[in-house]
Structure 1
Amino acid sequence: MSALLSTAAVEALRARTPGTQHTTHFNHAGASLPSSATLEAIHAHLWREATMGPMEAGIVGREQTERARGLAARLFNAQPAEIALTTGNSPGWGAAFAALGPWRAGERILVGRHEWGGNLSTMRGLAQRVGVSIDVIPCDADGAADPQALEAMLDERVRLIALTWLPANGGLINPAAAIGQVARRHDIPYFIDAAQAAGQLPIDVAELGCDVLSTAGRKALRGPRGTGLLYVRQAFLSRLTPPYTDTHAAPLNGRGEPVLRDDAGRFESSEASLALHCGLANALEEALDIGIETIRPRIDSVAQQLRVQLAELPGVTVLDLGAERSGLVAFNLAGLDAVSVQRRLAAQGIAIGSNGVSYTPFDMTSRGLQQIARASISYLTTEPEIERLLSQIHTLAVQSH
């Protein structure tokens, strides 16, 4: 496609996305709308399982698994051996974290203020059991994690730096590559949660300097729910021992001893859904065909338009931070909590998200926020959809006063 997504190109993509005919979707950060071709790829494999037998159909399914792995490697500028197909962002991130091995009391984890609550749940569990500390990287004037402040925090006790690249509670984009430069200079393991970034921003794992990067298939990539991708840098793989394996991740040798795979497949299971892998492969190919370099400016332009127009509505406060912003737009409406806003819009056929403190506890607490309403856009989002959303929020603002 061309460098810019034309109106005609967007309409063609929407015509191949059945959900756009049934809902006004502003919850792409929760889960986006899959294309007809992605749905057909899933259905085709389920039909093969029904007619050939699930194990027999697995031969075709495994081909699609490897296709998805290769496409993901292209998306991340990685090698296929560095990609594991997972069941979601949190399972992939958690598996890599658990594989770091034993921790000692007094060791430190440094995280961005915007760290995803699911990752923090895992880290805090470790902290409670072992006595590890979790310290927050200070933010710069724009609200993003500050690489210089991070460097000043480092000592010999720091065992991991973890960053959520695009927070779940708003449009900020953290400086993931600059954080990676600090991590590489000091040889500290660096994990990136890219759940909201994949499919929305260009990702080059070499430029990012990360050891591990995880994401979900269901968000900007428009893949099926229950899929995810985990990148593990090949040179870092030997430092990770998964606490759980099966005969896919660690086949038995002639003496009956498990031998860990020498690629990221050590984080996979033989019980994966091959039908979902078929859908994921199609979604990845579609994203690459459109081009992330084309998707990014489209999303940025539409999101900025929405922010400006939302801020003009009475009673609306736009809550996004950051010098560079994503397609997630956070706001609150005076007189209504975020869940009520979400439910009332849903009654009108408009889907948005609403997040509480548990999604991004450090950031929400620091900013005194209990809830946020979140309208997240895609390259599929159109101006008439924005006008409809704004009109309904204006109506809610009038009704709440």
Structure 2
Amino acid sequence: MLNLAQLRADTPGCESQVFLDSAGSSLPPRVVVDTEIAHLYREAEVGGYRAANERLADLNAVKTSIGRLLNASPASIALSDSASRSWADFFYSVPLAPGDRILISGADYASNAIAALQRARHTGATVEAIPSDANGQLDLEALEAMVDERVKLVSLIHVPTNGGLANPVAEAAAIARRAGALVLLDACQSAGQLTLDVEALNVDALSATGRKWLRGPRGTGFLYVRPELAATLEPSRLDLHSAQWTAPAEYSLAPDAGRFEFWECDVAGRLGLGAAVDYLLTLGPELVYAAIAERAAYLRKLLPEIPGVSVRDSGVQHAGIVSFTVDGLEPVRVRDLLAEQSITVTVSHRSSTLLDMTNRALSSVVRASPHAFVSFEDLDRFVIAVRTLRG
């Protein structure tokens, strides 16, 4: 069982506010901040190169820890500066030709959709959206009917940015893989709050960020690539870390997912990411995930009881994001009024998930995303504040 008092003591930022934005950029535990700051001080003392060389074992251990979280080998992990970078690095390495098809999720994120549309424009491939079913999740029957030998890649969103939907990823991946398509899973909103077993999910690649539910630093992310696949792909950009210059006109790629990394990086940030993942592993991931789910379910139960408040989450299985609207108040206004009471939420706009929000005639929603360090007293304070917004 999690020790809430200890969690809150480890998270000084939660004492002065009700923090409900772990889907945006969460509050890091103290060990993450201390790890980053200590390394920055060391860089100031001896320079970045020497400071990094002193921590080579710890830097390698970051991939080991992420591998434990994903049930993956360290060699299948590439570290990056964001989930978007990780997603794009893999996506742009997949060969495409005229007539090839790219399938995206109905709730896909804007960055992913833009990249798909750009590559389609440049290669002659096409981009098609997988419909949502009556519950708002991926329509598996529609996906089964869509896939054929021309589908080269299927982009799946585990948890969209605009609500608590958790998509049936394993089932969708199985359909795509049977047709011979590659499966790229955007786990930006699920890493740190849902179980991610890449073998059970049967995905070819997975991208995630450090700053959200994992509670790591901004400017960190990672990419998993199925080992046997990684050896067949060439990233669109290389440097002397992702490849070696072997002759005047020759180079050789790193043999594993390291080919998706560049040499230059924020060493303090990566050490902080490792500290965040280790913190989660020490607590017990399943305990943390259950605590997040419990808090989100609590809000999904109480918010609809407030006159004029509508919860906008779709799907059958839910994650830790609770999206809602308040009649007569724009979501940005709701966010700002709550901020005046030291309650932190954020807003998800139509442009982030254009297809889904347009289909549901929503221009924006308020997004509350409680982590395990949030107390139920905090949640009650938030609900009371929302109740009083309309006077």
Normalised by the length of structure 1, the TM-score is: 0.95
Residue 172 (structure 2) aligns with: 179
Distance apart, 1:157 and its partner CA = 1.6
Are 1:61 and 1:275, in contact at CA under 8 Å, matched by a contact in 2? Answer: no
Distance in 1, matches of 2:55 and 2:257, equals: 19
Q: SS of the counterpart of 1:252?
A: strand
Are 2:14 and 2:374, in contact at CA under 8 Å, matched by a contact in 1? Answer: no
Distance apart, 1:350 and its partner CA = 1.1
Distance apart, 1:44 and its partner CA = 1.0
The one of 26, 29, 41 aligned to 1:32? 26
* Structure 1 letter corresponding to 2:66: A
Residue 390 (structure 2) aligns with: 397
The one of 259, 268, 276 aligned to 1:266? 259
The one of 58, 64, 70 aligned to 1:64? 58
The one of 186, 205, 208 aligned to 1:193? 186
Please list, as runs of the form range in 1=range in 2, the aligned pairs for 1:304-323 lying within 5 A after superposition: 304-323=297-316
Residue 125 (structure 1) aligns with: 118
Q: SS of the counterpart of 2:251?
A: coil
* Structure 2 letter corresponding to 1:40: D
Are 1:62 and 1:274, in contact at CA under 8 Å, matched by a contact in 2? Answer: no
The one of 63, 86, 93 aligned to 1:92? 86
Distance apart, 1:156 and its partner CA = 2.1
Pair 1:235 & 2:235 matched: no
Are 2:4 and 2:373, in contact at CA under 8 Å, matched by a contact in 1? Answer: yes
Pair 1:375 & 2:374 matched: no
Which has the larger displacement, 114-123 or 254-263? 254-263
The one of 144, 149, 163 aligned to 1:151? 144
Residue 365 (structure 1) aligns with: 358
Residue 274 (structure 2) aligns with: 281
Which has the larger displacement, 132-141 or 262-271? 132-141
Are 2:148 and 2:179, in contact at CA under 8 Å, matched by a contact in 1? Answer: no
Distance in 2, matches of 1:60 and 1:182, equals: 46
Pair 1:14 & 2:5 matched: no
* Structure 1 letter corresponding to 2:28: P
* Structure 2 letter corresponding to 1:195: C
Residue 164 (structure 1) aligns with: 157
Residue 43 (structure 1) aligns with: 37
Distance in 1, matches of 2:88 and 2:80, equals: 11
Q: Deviation string for 1:335-354 (max 9, x for gaps)?
A: 11111111111122111110
Distance in 1, matches of 2:148 and 2:90, equals: 23
Q: Deviation string for 1:350-389 (max 9, x for gaps)?
A: 1111011111111101111111110011111111111111
Pair 1:342 & 2:335 matched: yes
Are 1:357 and 1:369, in contact at CA under 8 Å, matched by a contact in 2? Answer: yes
Distance in 1, matches of 2:222 and 2:119, equals: 24
Distance apart, 1:180 and its partner CA = 1.3
Are 2:147 and 2:176, in contact at CA under 8 Å, matched by a contact in 1? Answer: no
Distance in 2, matches of 1:61 and 1:358, equals: 41
Distance apart, 1:16 and its partner CA = 1.1
Q: Deviation string for 1:246-274 (max 9, x for gaps)?
A: 10111222556321101111111111111
Pair 1:114 & 2:107 matched: yes
* Structure 2 letter corresponding to 1:72: I
Distance apart, 1:153 and its partner CA = 0.7
Distance in 2, matches of 1:300 and 1:28, equals: 13
Which has the larger displacement, 32-41 or 141-150? 141-150
Residue 202 (structure 1) aligns with: 195
* Structure 1 letter corresponding to 2:87: W
Distance in 2, matches of 1:334 and 1:250, equals: 55
Change (3 A) 1:256 1:70: farther
Distance in 1, matches of 2:124 and 2:382, equals: 47
Q: Deviation string for 1:80-110 (max 9, x for gaps)?
A: 0000011010000001111113x22322111
Distance in 2, matches of 1:35 and 1:302, equals: 19
Q: SS of the counterpart of 2:22?
A: coil
The one of 65, 72, 80 aligned to 1:78? 72
Distance in 1, matches of 2:237 and 2:109, equals: 24
Residue 54 (structure 1) aligns with: 48
The one of 294, 317, 320 aligned to 1:327? 320
* Structure 2 letter corresponding to 1:185: R
Are 1:100 and 1:239, in contact at CA under 8 Å, matched by a contact in 2? Answer: no
Are 1:61 and 1:277, in contact at CA under 8 Å, matched by a contact in 2? Answer: no
Please list, as runs of the form range in 1=range in 2, the aligned pairs for 1:289-308 lying within 5 A after superposition: 289-308=282-301
Q: SS of the counterpart of 2:55?
A: helix
| Aligned Cα root-mean-square deviation (Å) | 1.2
Are 2:152 and 2:180, in contact at CA under 8 Å, matched by a contact in 1? Answer: no
Distance in 2, matches of 1:76 and 1:334, equals: 41
How many aligned positions are there? 391
Q: SS of the counterpart of 1:354?
A: strand
Residue 219 (structure 2) aligns with: 226
Are 1:331 and 1:374, in contact at CA under 8 Å, matched by a contact in 2? Answer: yes
